[in-house]
Amino acid sequence: MIRLGTILVAHDFSPHSEAALRRAVDLAKHAKGRIHLLHAYAWPVRGVMPYDVAMPAGVWDAIREGTEEALEGVRAGVARQGVEATAEVTSLLPVEAILTAQKEVGADVVAVGTRGLTGLKHAVLGSVAERTVRHAPCPVLSVKEGDPGGLPRRIVAATDFSPDGDHARDVAVDLAKQVGAELHLVHAFDIPLALVTPYEVAVPDSLVREAREAAKKRLDAAAEAVRARGVTATSHLAEVPAAPAIAEVAAETKADLVVIGTRGHTGLKHVLLGSVAERTLRLAPCAVLAVKKDDP
């Protein structure tokens, strides 16, 4: 079951973090939870002064005071919506700050924007969102600029029939029941030919056909199990790589949220560049909730 008692929102005053806050506030309001706002104001000193020059006295204090005042304004705005909120300003680097605060406040979910004040067009390796997904011990909600907020009404859940995929599906079902959303299950049927046969030998059509039929049977059974739990469910079998398949179904169904596990059949201990989870973060047209099987 996914808990929404305390949602930690990383806020850098960018449109992306504002979008993450909107989603978080709506979820917290529905669950009668609370919001903990976090801003990390670590100055990229090397980018400003690459020499051995001390920061002028009082600059850090002025930065902190201005940031605290601005974040208090954000906190007050959340409180006016009827949601309990606290605010914290830290000089730690963003990801370290998020992981530290998550532990200290016992956050059930971390919400981050997928692009901050760097001005990058897409999330890239090393972004705050992706590094948070890799290392946070709880579900991470990544939200893009322009997200309208509100409770999710159409949720896409990616499943690869691994324990991690099954856990992601269970989280999606639980959330769908909590907010009254419909669920779309996606399985990407994609035989990696280079791994099956590295030689110039065609994969028999019969093998592809049997694999497709087996995948459809398992996916249909999973959708039926979801319906048995009282959630409207539709299955989508795609014959393309997983991340594009997930993004395409999300676009076609006008989904509000994608739920995905951060580790599947690859057996990787942590999410790595090129993983389905990270590619989905970049490609999905909506918010993405990344979950681990060992999330509390």
Q: Which of 98-102, 162-166, 189-193 has the lowest mean pLDDT?
A: 189-193
Residues 157 and 288 in one domain: yes
Indicate if the pLDDT at residue 218 is higher than 60: yes
Q: What is the predicted pLDDT for the residue at 200?
A: 60
Average pLDDT, the chain: 86
* Distances in whole angstroms, Cα of residue 144 to Cα of each of 15, 50, 60, 104, 184: 8, 32, 30, 26, 21
Exposure pattern of 270-289 as b/e (b: 16+ CB <10 Å)?
ebeeebbbbbbbbbbebbbb
Quote the tokens at residue 97: 């700050």
Q: What is the pLDDT of residues 286-296, one digit of tens each?
A: 999 999 887 66
Confidence grade of residue 42 (pLDDT, cut at 50, 70, 90): low
Runs of H (alpha helix) within the chain: 15-31, 45-48, 59-80, 94-105, 128-135, 163-179, 193-196, 205-228, 242-252, 276-283
Of 135, 150, 165, which residue constitutes the final position of a domain?
150
Q: What is the dihedral of CA 204, 205, 209, 212, to 10 degrees?
A: 70
Q: Report whether 185 contacts 226 (CB < 8 A).
A: yes
Quote the tokens at residue 52: 């051995």
Closest among 109, 161, 157 to 133, alpha carbons compared: 109
Q: What is the predicted pLDDT for the residue at 240?
A: 86
Indicate if the pLDDT at residue 207 is higher than 70: yes
Q: What is the predicted pLDDT for the residue at 124?
A: 40
Of 150, 178, 199, which residue constitutes the final position of a domain?
150
Q: Which of 29-38, 53-62, 84-93, 197-206 has the lowest mean pLDDT?
A: 197-206
* Distances in whole angstroms, Cα of residue 152 to Cα of each of 26, 70, 155, 259: 10, 29, 7, 11
Q: What is the predicted pLDDT for the residue at 26?
A: 98
Closest among 38, 142, 131, 25 to 84, alpha carbons compared: 25
Q: What is the predicted pLDDT for the residue at 204?
A: 72
- Specify burial of residue 95 (Cβ count, 10 A radius: 0-12, 13-18, 19+): buried
Indicate if the pLDDT at residue 225 is higher than 80: yes
Count of domains for the chain: 2
Of 276 and 216, the one with more pLDDT: 216
Indicate if the pLDDT at residue 221 is higher than 70: yes
Q: What is the pLDDT of residues 97-151, one digit of tens each?
A: 999 999 999 999 999 998 744 444 443 434 888 889 888 999 999 999 899 999 9
Alpha carbon of residue 28 to chain centroid: 16
Residues 65 and 117 in one domain: yes
293 φ/ψ angles, rounded to the nearest 5 degrees: -60, -30
Q: What is the predicted pLDDT for the residue at 284?
A: 94
Residues 132 and 185 in one domain: no
260 φ/ψ angles, rounded to the nearest 5 degrees: -145, 145
Residues, the chain: 296
Please give the DSSP secondary-structure letter assigned to residue 255: -
Residues 243 and 265 in one domain: yes
CA atoms of 16 and 26, how far apart (whole Å): 16
Q: Which of 55-69, 112-126, 128-142, 240-254 has the lowest mean pLDDT?
A: 112-126
Confidence grade of residue 252 (pLDDT, cut at 50, 70, 90): very high
Q: What is the predicted pLDDT for the residue at 179?
A: 96
Residues 40 and 84 in one domain: yes
Q: What is the dihedral of CA 89, 91, 9, 37, to 10 degrees?
A: -10
User: How are strands ordered across the β-sheet holding 140-143?
Assistant: 84-90, 34-40, 6-10, 109-113, 140-143, 287-291, 257-261, 154-158, 182-188, 233-238
Of 118, 150, 182, which residue constitutes the final position of a domain?
150
CA atoms of 10 and 269, how far apart (whole Å): 25
Domain annotation covers residue 53: no
Indicate if the pLDDT at residue 262 is higher than 60: yes
Residues 201 and 103 in one domain: no
Identify the domain containing residue 262 by its residue range.
151-295
Indicate if the pLDDT at residue 272 is higher than 70: no
Indicate if the pLDDT at residue 18 is higher than 50: yes
